[in-house]
Amino acid sequence: MGEKSKREITITSVVLGIVLAVVFGAANAYLGLRVGLTVSASVPAAVISMGVMRFLLRRDSILENNMVQTIGSAGESLAAGAIFTLPALFLWAQERPDSFTTPGMPQVTAIALAGGILGVLLMVPLRRPLIVEEEKTLIYPEGRACAGVLKAGESGGAGALTVFTGLGAAMAAKFVTGWFKWIPETFLWPIKSLRVALGFEVSPALLGVGYIIGIKTATLLFGGALLGWCVIMPTVTMFNPSAAALWDAGNVKGVWSGYVRYVGAGAIAAGGLISLVRSMPLFVRTFRTTFAKGSGGEKKDDGGGRDMPMRLVLAGAVCVALFIWACPAIPTGLGGALLIALFGFIFAAISARMVGLVGSSNNPISGMTIATLVAASLALKASGTTGTAGMVASIAVGSVVCIVAAIAGDTAQDLKTGRILGATPWKQQAGELVGVVASALVIGGVLLLLHKAWGFGSDAISAPQATLMKVIVEGIMEGGLPWELLAVGAGIAVVLALFRIPVMPVAIGIYLSFGLNAAIFAGGVLRWLVERRRGKVDENEDKGTLFSAGLIAGEGLCGILLAVLALL
């Protein structure tokens, strides 16, 4: 490896990485708030980096490109952790303005910074036992895929052009539907005689999501939609007079939001807990293996590379814990700070190992967050912290832990990529911190902007996971929820699990609108048709996957731009 190719942390890599962290963080925030799914930014960030570095700046350092994707992918993971929980605070302020206040930029930024920095720091002592010593056991699929893309850097220019083409196409389509209104964004067709409703959403991002996740998952999502809108909806309107009155008045969305979505919420909650229970043997093995071998924070470089000094890591973690305790924007108190430290430590280790075995897409972060929220809500209620204060504190604890788990998993994948390419671990860990800080400073503005433009819980940004977290905390703290509908959803999840059908995709399909699921299904069918024609290809070399990533980023960025224009 020549001297030129050994560059890692440079002004160019840091600046480009920060730009991609902000771009993909904002795009994934919009996507996740709309459909409850996010996509990995590592491969698109690597492809764009190679295109810019090699063909515009004439630089050819693979380690510099790796640093760009390391910093850039942190934005997507932090956004995923934030949108799963924090919008619950906005929803309460919207529903109960007398009791709750809308979170401001300082509160969102403080929670995002605390969770992001803690997630990176907790991963440092886990790198050697998980990534170095278990190299043959833990495969880290996304990390290996990203390393493969970077090694095949000669095709970076064409790949980057494909991503940018998809980005431009999605932005143009979003302006046609979202700004000029030449084509409706949503089609809904009620069939009154059957008391069912079908629909479709015109969305490049949803097509891209369907193409990336493939026909199997897309079919499960669509199956959940059929179950919700063609089975649960007519059943509810048949036996519930209030639901029947809404239907007869033509308020199909009222039936969905007031009844069907609670069934979906129950299925999602049960699915997350089932996933957590099934993973328990793996969690136990993780702790036995990881902490029996100890950490490698201050060991000499014995072929595994140097990590950040352990003293610095411990000092940083203590400072973050003290910040959580003392910061008024994170109203958790000493008990909440201790819960964050406990669950953050446990779930960082679990997340880092889970992504090594099953990949980031199957990492049960929602289940970990649900478990944290339940424990935090019960503990706070038992200590006498109830009402508004208890509910806000519960979400704050859950938000930090959710971000910790998401960032720890992303850091593990990036460190695996660096391990394959020969990158310096401490430099990558520093890069992760740069990406986390940059994204945390922006994510608050993105959430506030989207909320002011459309409002969380609206058709444009339904915030499914955050709504579920809100329902769980309300149920524990206040009661008064439609437990019978939640129980029906939980029963559906149990039946699916007994038949070994993946629970979460079907549950999300019930929870989300029919048109949204139909658009994702169309993307999955498109990929199936493409693969039938030309055979299965490596998705990291597939132009369709890169084009789809561009579609997702393009619509997300255009959605944020339209939010700005709407406010102006």
* pLDDT band with cut points at 50, 70 and 90 for residue 209: confident
For the purposes of burial, counting CB atoms within 10 Å of the CB of 311, is it exposed (0-12), middle (13-18) or buried (19 or more)?
exposed
The per-residue pLDDT for range 158-191, each reduced to its tens digit, is 666 787 888 889 889 988 887 888 888 889 899 9
* 65, pLDDT greater than 50: yes
pLDDT of residue 244: 92
Q: How many domains does the chain have?
A: 1
Dihedral Cα 449, 452, 454, 457, nearest 10 deg: 100
Q: Domain of 56?
A: 3-184+301-479+538-567
Give ∠ CA 502-506-511 in degrees, rounded to 5.
Answer: 145
Residue with tokens 């910074």: 113
Closest to 376 in 3D by CA, of 316, 318, 324: 324
SS3 201: strand
In a domain, 199, yes or no: no
* 357, pLDDT greater than 70: no
- Does 43 or 441 have the greater pLDDT score? 441
pTM above 0.85?
no
Show Cβ contacts of residue 21 under 8 Å, excluding neighbours closer than 6 positions. 71, 72, 73, 74, 75, 76, 435, 438, 439
In a domain, 179, yes or no: yes
Phi, psi of 199 (to 5 degrees): -170, 180
C-alpha span between 10 and 275 (Å, rounded): 41
Closest to 213 in 3D by CA, of 519, 468, 469: 519
Strand intervals (E) in 383-506: none
DSSP state letter for 18: H
DSSP state letter for 198: E
Question: Secondary structure of 116-175 in the HEC alphabet?
Answer: HHHHHHHHHHHHHHHHHCCCCCCCCHHHHHHHHHHHCHHHHHHHHHHHHHHHHHHHHHHH
C-alpha span between 568 and 565 (Å, rounded): 5
In a domain, 369, yes or no: yes
In a domain, 516, yes or no: no
pLDDT of residue 497: 92
* pLDDT band with cut points at 50, 70 and 90 for residue 296: very low
182: left (phi over 0), alpha (psi -120 to 50) or beta: alpha
pLDDT of residue 253: 85
* pLDDT band with cut points at 50, 70 and 90 for residue 3: very low
* 224, pLDDT greater than 50: yes
Contact at 8 Å (CB) between 75 and 20?
Answer: yes
Residue with tokens 């970076």: 156
* 302, pLDDT greater than 50: no
Strand intervals (E) in 313-435: none
Contact at 8 Å (CB) between 295 and 126?
Answer: yes
Residue 100: both structure tokens together: 């709750």
566: amino acid identity, one letter = A
In a domain, 195, yes or no: no
In a domain, 368, yes or no: yes
Residue 475: both structure tokens together: 């149920």
Residue 198 pairs with which residues in a beta bridge?
Answer: 189
Percent of the chain with pLDDT over 90: 31
Average pLDDT over residues 29-42: 77
Helices (H) and strands (E) in the chain, counts: 24, 2
C-alpha span between 418 and 208 (Å, rounded): 28
Helix pair 503-511, 464-477: axis angle to 10 deg: 90
* Average pLDDT of the chain to the nearest whole number: 83
In a domain, 164, yes or no: yes
The per-residue pLDDT for range 258-286, each reduced to its tens digit, is 899 889 878 877 887 787 677 667 656 65
Residue 8: both structure tokens together: 């890692």
* 399, pLDDT greater than 80: yes
Q: What is the largest distance, in Å, between two alpha-carbon atoms of the chain?
A: 75
Residue 31: both structure tokens together: 């996507």
In a domain, 86, yes or no: yes
Contact at 8 Å (CB) between 108 and 327?
Answer: no
Closest to 546 in 3D by CA, of 165, 72, 70: 165
pLDDT of residue 4: 44
CA gyration radius, the chain:
23
